[in-house]
């Protein structure tokens, strides 16, 4: 399974999770079997709320799951339409969030939890 997580900067599994998917500076892309993160810049970080293109933001990496602390309604809907599952995490680091996902501790994101604007 390929997992994407919005992060502040590249710092391996200790990378800090960014609070809002669409405006994150980078994404950690992790294969669940080897847990080695690759980092891609968010080419869509600068956008008006509601206009995020999540597939472009992920640099066209085909992922199965996105783990977030927050995400806008349109980005969430577009990810779901592409067959990408979105999970909510309160973890501070990529490593903890991946551990929580793989152990079944994370809750699948619900559209009612989406953000109303950019706060980060």
User: What is the domain-level CATH number for residue 69?
Assistant: 3.30.420.130
Residue 67: inside a domain, yes or no?
A: yes
* Arithmetic mean of pLDDT, 65-77: 90
Give how many domains the chain has, as a whole number.
1
Residue 120: inside a domain, yes or no?
A: no
Residue 30: inside a domain, yes or no?
A: yes
State the Cα–Cα distance between residues 111 and 74, nearest whole angstrom. Answer: 9
Asked whether the predicted pLDDT for residue 49 surpasses 60, the reply is no
Band the pLDDT of 118: cuts 50, 70, 90.
Answer: very low
Q: What is the pLDDT of residue 115?
A: 61
Shortest CA distance to 85 belongs to which of 18, 20, 3? 3
Give the chain's largest Cα–Cα span.
Answer: 36
Instruction: Give just the sign of the alpha carbon dihedral 14, 19, 22, 25.
Output: negative
Residue 119: inside a domain, yes or no?
A: no
| Residue partners of 90: CB distance under 8 A and separation at least 6 | 69
Task: Kindly report the three-state secondary structure assignment for every residue of 53-115.
Answer: CHHHHCCCCCCCEEEECCCEHHHHHHHHHCCCEEEECCCCEHHHHHHHHHCCCCEECCHHHCE
Band the pLDDT of 56: cuts 50, 70, 90.
Answer: confident
* Arithmetic mean of pLDDT, 71-86: 90
Residue 89: inside a domain, yes or no?
A: yes
Asked whether the predicted pLDDT for residue 23 surpasses 70, the reply is yes
Domain of residue 24 covers 2-113
């Amino acid at each position: 399974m390929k997992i994407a997580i919005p992060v502040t900067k590249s710092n391996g599994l200790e990378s800090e999770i960014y609070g809002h998917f669409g405006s994150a500076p980078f994404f950690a892309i992790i294969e669940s079997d080897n847990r080695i993160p690759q980092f891609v810049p968010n080419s869509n970080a600068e956008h008006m709320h509601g206009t995020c293109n999540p597939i472009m933001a992920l640099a066209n990496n085909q992922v199965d799951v996105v783990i977030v602390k927050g995400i806008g309604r349109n980005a969430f809907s577009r990810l779901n339409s592409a067959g990408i599952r979105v999970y909510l995490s309160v973890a501070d680091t990529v490593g903890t969030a991946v551990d929580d996902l793989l152990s079944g501790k994370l809750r699948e994101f619900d559209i009612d939890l989406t953000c109303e604007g950019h706060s980060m």
